Amino acid sequence: MQRRTFIFSIGLSGFSTMIKKKPGTSFEPPYFSRNEILSPYPSSTVSNTYQSPQGRAEISPPLATIKPARLKRGDTVALVAPSGATATRFEIMLVKECMEALGFKVKLGRHVFDRYGYLGGKDEDRAADLMAQFADPEVAGIIAVRGGWGCARLLPYLDFEVIRKNPKALIGYSDITALLLSVYAKTGLVTFHGPIGLDPWNSFTANYFRRLVMEGEAPLLENPVEKGDYLIPRENRVQTITPGRATGILMGGNLSIISTLLGTDFVPSWKEAILFVEDVNEEIYRVDRMLTHLRLAGVFREIKGFVFGRCTDCNPGQGYGSLTLEQMLDDHIKPLGIPAWYGSMIGHIPLKFTVPIGIKAGIDAERGVIELLEPAVAY
Sign of the dihedral through C-alpha 152, 66, 191, 110: negative
Strand bridging mode 369-372 / 360-364: antiparallel
Q: For residues 347 and 70, give the distance between their C-alpha atoms in angstroms, rounded to a whole number.
A: 23
* 344 classed as catalytic: no
φ and ψ at 246, to 5 degrees?
A: -155, 160
Q: For residues 70 and 212, give the distance between their C-alpha atoms in angstroms, rounded to a whole number.
A: 9
Amino acid identity for residue 109 in this structure? G
Please state whether 285 falls in left (phi above 0), alpha (psi between -120 and 50) or beta: alpha
* 174 classed as catalytic: yes
231 class by beta-carbon count within 10 Å (0-12 exposed, 13-18 middle, 19+ buried)? exposed
| 52-78 burial code (b ≥16 CB/10 A, e <16) | eeeeeeebbebbebbbbebbeeebbbb
Is there a contact between 251 and 357 (Cβ–Cβ < 8 Å)? yes
* 193 classed as catalytic: no
Which of 83, 174, 256, 344 is flagged as catalytic?
174
Q: For residues 145 and 95, give the distance between their C-alpha atoms in angstroms, rounded to a whole number.
A: 7
The per-residue DSSP string of 30-62 comes to PP--HHHHHSPSSPTTS------TT-PPPPBPP
Q: For residues 37 and 18, give the distance between their C-alpha atoms in angstroms, rounded to a whole number.
A: 16
Q: 10 Å Cβ neighbour count for 351?
A: 16
φ and ψ at 165, to 5 degrees?
A: -80, -10
Helix intervals (H) in 246-360: 255-261, 284-296, 299-302, 325-332
CA atoms within 13 A on the CB side of 118: 5
Which of 111, 182, 259, 278 is flagged as catalytic?
278
The per-residue DSSP string of 277-310 comes to EEEES--HHHHHHHHHHHHHTTHHHH-SEEEEEE
Residues classed as catalytic: 174, 278, 348
